[in-house]
A and B are shown apart, each in its own frame.
Chain A
Amino acid sequence: GAGVSQSPRYKVTKRGQDVALRCDPISGHVSLYWYRQALGQGPEFLTYFNYEAQQDKSGLPNDRFSAERPEGSISTLTIQRTEQRDSAMYRCASSPRQGISGANVLTFGAGSRLTVL
């Protein structure tokens, strides 16, 4: 597509429920990134993929968070047993080339705002 598409844009869930956030990157972009942005803060890195391979998941806060990109295109970020502290904007970004550190510009999606009650 023309830009990075994320869905849902807004998600309200009850504590303890699982949620899945979807990211559709720019067509042909090899690298895909997930960031989390709390209110009043800058985005924080969660994980990234080159094609279907998860290259780095050091930013995932705990084992309730997981991500996949099975066919090297669309990615899903899953949060199990959600907690109120998971409430944030979850942003996906993509770039056209794989992992040439610092050389690429990330194009971000509009984000998925998650609220856990």
Chain B
Amino acid sequence: AQKVTQAQTEISVVEKEDVTLDCVYETRDTTYYLFWYKQPPSGELVFLIRRNSFDEQNEISGRYSWNFQKSTSSFNFTITASQVVDSAVYFCALNILTGGGNKLTFGTGTQLKVEL
């Protein structure tokens, strides 16, 4: 069975601080995909990144960066110089390749609050 753990329920930071959201996953499959989605206060789910299990290169997109470490089954997300607009719930999700379809297994989410 697949599992995604986001141990941080809520994080509060002051604007311009850097913040890292942790994600640990469990799967016995060797081929899988990992995702991060953002849920702002308006409620929609917004795709941020997809990474497959064969690509352990870290990725940077503006103020966002992701650190994928297969050895520790972690896919952590860092926001540099956080802004109030970053306030949202962030979900990490896992999809294995067997079985067909995109049956994502989501973590319980981390609520990020960025204050002035």
Contacts and interface: CB of A to CB of B under 8 A. Distances in A.
A95 interface: yes
Contacts, number: 77
Contacts of A45: 103-105
B101 A55 contact: yes
B32 interface: yes
Q: Most chain-B Cβ atoms within 10 A of its Cβ — which of A91, A93, A106?
A: A106
B52 interface: yes
Interface stretch (A19-27, A35-43, A62-70, A80-88): A35-43
Interface stretch (B14-22, B63-71, B92-100): B92-100
Contact of A42 (B32, B100, B108): B108
Interface string A83-101: 0000001010101000101
A16 to B, nearest CB: 27
A2 interface: no
A105 B50 contact: yes
A28 B96 CA distance: 25
Interface residues of A, number: 29
B100 A101 contact: yes
A107 B47 CA distance: 7
Given A102-B32, A102-B33, A102-B97, A109 B104 contact: no
A48 B102 contact: yes
A73 to B, nearest CB: 18
Interface string B1-29: 00010000000000000000000000000
Contacts of B107: 42
Interface of A: 31, 33, 35, 40-45, 48, 55-56, 59, 89, 91, 93, 95, 99, 101-111
